[in-house]
């Protein structure tokens, strides 16, 4: 028998309490992590491919939602059948449960030709019971005529026969080519009023459906994503195309203890302004006349200056934390020798802020990432290409700790580390030109 003296018992209690605390901490962290986090930085991870050829799937640099690599799917009409049809898909290799969260990001390239013949880009496919044949997926995300759709089917009978007890179809609107689209889906599978399907598109909830939503099978559906174009197999004359290419990145899957903020790679919105509201959350700090009209924000009468970024400065009144993802559409309305616009961030005052500048010409001090500290200007990075007058560009600015990334039309054009981020305001400027801005979205940047 081992007899613990009072000091030994005291230290054992401390050890057990500490151990319990550490285990609880680990469990708390584990609950916050997604079941699957596929960023394609190291390839497929635990996903499995349903594809025929070397061109079907690849990981490529630069065209990414976050990080350095994204996934590229390519399906050709001439590809041999895979799993009885025309597909290039990745699928989850682990069983899913009744309630799940899913995050997917898609980019449709600018040459993604519109046609009526659909292709499924995500499907939650049901597993038939023993002796039962495969049926169409109970939930699918698909594209037709360059519009995004969601379809849900349910079936009460135990043995499926392709005759469904119900079907719901949702039109999610036009897709924006050459721009990342974020989709978050929350599913609770059920055959009664406990069933739930929720969908968010770019931070906006588009669907909330309560009620039956699955087939009466022993197992819950599993996720597949990529390109599945069944017309090329069963109705080849319906389609006039021969190739489809789709980019996917940051696929995340979470259990029921997840939520939108945890699973979405888009993040919680700080600012959402399409400039349609008469309420103006902007403040003109210096310079010319800004006008909120025509569903955009215009600098209509600029003050002329020789490259001074603070000459015509308008800022949103809110303060943004240091980690954020900013999206904006912008253009210079009229050409000139030094036409430009700036997106300002980390603004404290006129002597302390950062900005990214885009110019019609390449010249020193333009086209890059800059910071001003105590009035001193520092160039952090330069962009290698100029913008065009009268052409809208989609700009994304991401700041995570000391890292800054700048994307133009879904292409990474500038990246820098060692920045000293501060919380501050965001806004717009131009040194001397009439410029326009539209669709400002600023989101929390998930880590």
- The share of the chain scoring above pLDDT 70, in percent, equals 91
Residue-level pLDDT at 442: 95
Residue-level pLDDT at 62: 77
Q: Would the pLDDT of 1 be above 60?
A: no
447 versus 309: the higher-pLDDT residue is 309
Say whether both 305 and 423 belong to one domain: yes
Say whether both 101 and 249 belong to one domain: yes
- The share of the chain scoring above pLDDT 90, in percent, equals 74
Domain count, the chain: 2
Say whether both 344 and 311 belong to one domain: yes
Q: Would the pLDDT of 151 be above 90?
A: yes
Residue 18 lies in a domain: no
Alpha carbon distance 132, 56 (integer Å): 30
Say whether both 283 and 247 belong to one domain: no
Say whether both 144 and 273 belong to one domain: no
Residue-level pLDDT at 337: 67
Site of tokens 């879904």: 410
Residue-level pLDDT at 446: 65
- pLDDT grade for 148, boundaries at 50, 70 and 90: very high
Q: Would the pLDDT of 410 be above 70?
A: yes
Compute the mean pLDDT over every residue in the chain, rounded to the nearest whole number. 89
pLDDT tens digit sequence for 249-277: 999 999 999 999 889 988 778 999 999 99
The structure tokens listed for 66 are: 């976050």
Alpha carbon distance 274, 203 (integer Å): 13
pLDDT tens digit sequence for 224-241: 999 999 999 999 999 999
Task: Residue 52: give the domain boundaries.
Answer: 35-263
Residue 26 lies in a domain: no
For residues 366 and 355, the answer to whether their CB atoms sit within 8 Å is: no
The total of other beta-carbon atoms located within 10 Å of residue 28's CB is 9
Say whether both 241 and 329 belong to one domain: no
The structure tokens listed for 237 are: 């004359």
Instruction: Write the CB contacts of 299 (distance below 8 Å, at least 6 apart in sequence).
Output: 287, 288, 289, 290, 312, 314, 428, 430, 433, 434, 435, 436
Q: Is the dihedral of CA 26, 95, 50, 163 positive or negative?
A: negative
Q: Would the pLDDT of 50 be above 50?
A: yes
Residue 395 lies in a domain: yes
Q: Would the pLDDT of 11 be above 50?
A: no
Say whether both 184 and 61 belong to one domain: yes
Q: Would the pLDDT of 425 be above 70?
A: yes
Q: Would the pLDDT of 14 be above 60?
A: no
Residue 14 lies in a domain: no
How many residues are given for the chain?
A: 447
| Domain end residue (candidates: 241, 263, 285) | 263
Q: Would the pLDDT of 378 be above 90?
A: yes
Nearest 5 degrees, angle CA 7-CA 8-CA 9?
90
Say whether both 241 and 318 belong to one domain: no
What CATH number is attached to the domain comprising 372?
A: 2.60.120.560
Q: Would the pLDDT of 355 be above 70?
A: yes
Helices (H) and strands (E) in the chain, counts: 3, 30
Q: Would the pLDDT of 85 be above 80?
A: yes
For residues 368 and 359, the answer to whether their CB atoms sit within 8 Å is: no
Say whether both 245 and 319 belong to one domain: no
The structure tokens listed for 56 are: 């079907």
Mean pLDDT of 333-337: 76
- pLDDT grade for 13, boundaries at 50, 70 and 90: very low
Say whether both 242 and 182 belong to one domain: yes
| Domain end residue (candidates: 263, 284, 318) | 263
Residue-level pLDDT at 33: 61
Query: Across-strand partners of 82?
Result: 85
Q: What proportions of the chain, in percent to the nearest 5, are helix, strand and coil?
A: 10, 45, 45
- pLDDT grade for 5, boundaries at 50, 70 and 90: very low
Alpha carbon distance 120, 405 (integer Å): 32
Half-sphere exposure (Cβ direction) of 272: Cα atoms closer than 13 Å? 9
Say whether both 293 and 209 belong to one domain: no
């Amino acid at each position: 028998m081992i007899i613990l003296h009072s000091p030994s018992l005291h230290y054992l209690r401390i050890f057990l309490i500490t151990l319990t605390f550490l285990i609880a901490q680990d469990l708390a962290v584990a609950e916050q992590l997604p079941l699957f986090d596929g960023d394609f930085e190291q390839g497929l991870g635990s996903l499995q491919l349903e594809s025929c050829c070397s061109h079907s799937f690849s990981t490529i640099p630069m065209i990414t939602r976050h990080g350095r690599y994204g996934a590229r799917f390519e399906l050709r009409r001439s590809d041999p059948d895979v799993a009885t049809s025309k597909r290039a898909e990745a699928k989850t290799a682990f069983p899913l449960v009744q309630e799940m969260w899913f995050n997917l990001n898609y980019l449709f390239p600018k040459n993604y030709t519109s046609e009526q013949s659909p292709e499924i880009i995500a499907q939650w496919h049901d597993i038939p019971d023993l002796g039962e044949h495969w049926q169409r997926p109970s939930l699918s995300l698909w594209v037709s005529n360059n519009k995004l759709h969601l379809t849900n089917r349910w079936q009460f009978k135990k043995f499926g026969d392709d005759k469904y007890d119900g079907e719901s179809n949702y039109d999610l609107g036009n897709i924006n080519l050459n721009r990342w689209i974020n989709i978050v889906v929350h599913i609770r599978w059920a055959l009664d009023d406990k069933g739930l399907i929720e969908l968010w598109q770019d931070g906006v909830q588009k669907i909330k459906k309560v009620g039956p939503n699955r087939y009466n099978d022993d197992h819950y559906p599993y996720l597949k994503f990529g390109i599945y174009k069944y017309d090329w197999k069963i109705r080849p004359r319906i389609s006039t195309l021969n190739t489809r290419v789709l980019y996917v990145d940051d696929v995340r899957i979470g259990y029921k203890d997840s939520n939108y903020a945890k699973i979405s790679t888009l993040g919680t919105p700080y600012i959402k302004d399409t400039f349609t509201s008469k309420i103006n959350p902007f403040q003109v700090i210096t310079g010319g006349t800004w006008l909120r009209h025509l569903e955009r924000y215009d600098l209509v009468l600029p003050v002329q200056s020789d490259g001074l970024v603070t000459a015509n400065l308008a800022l949103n009144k809110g303060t943004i934390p240091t980690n954020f993802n900013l999206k904006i559409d912008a253009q210079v309305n009229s050409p000139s020798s030094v036409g430009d616009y700036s997106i300002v961030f980390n603004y404290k005052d006129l002597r302390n802020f950062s900005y990214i500048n885009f110019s019609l010409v390449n010249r020193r001090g333009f086209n890059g990432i800059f910071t001003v500290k105590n009035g001193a200007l520092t160039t952090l990075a330069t962009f290698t290409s100029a913008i065009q007058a009268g052409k809208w560009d989609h700009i994304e600015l991401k700041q995570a700790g000391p890292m800054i990334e700048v994307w133009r039309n879904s292409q990474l054009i500038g990246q820098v580390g060692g920045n000293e981020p501060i919380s501050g305001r965001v806004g717009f400027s131009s040194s001397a030109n009439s410029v326009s801005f539209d669709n400002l979205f600023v989101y929390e940047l998930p880590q």
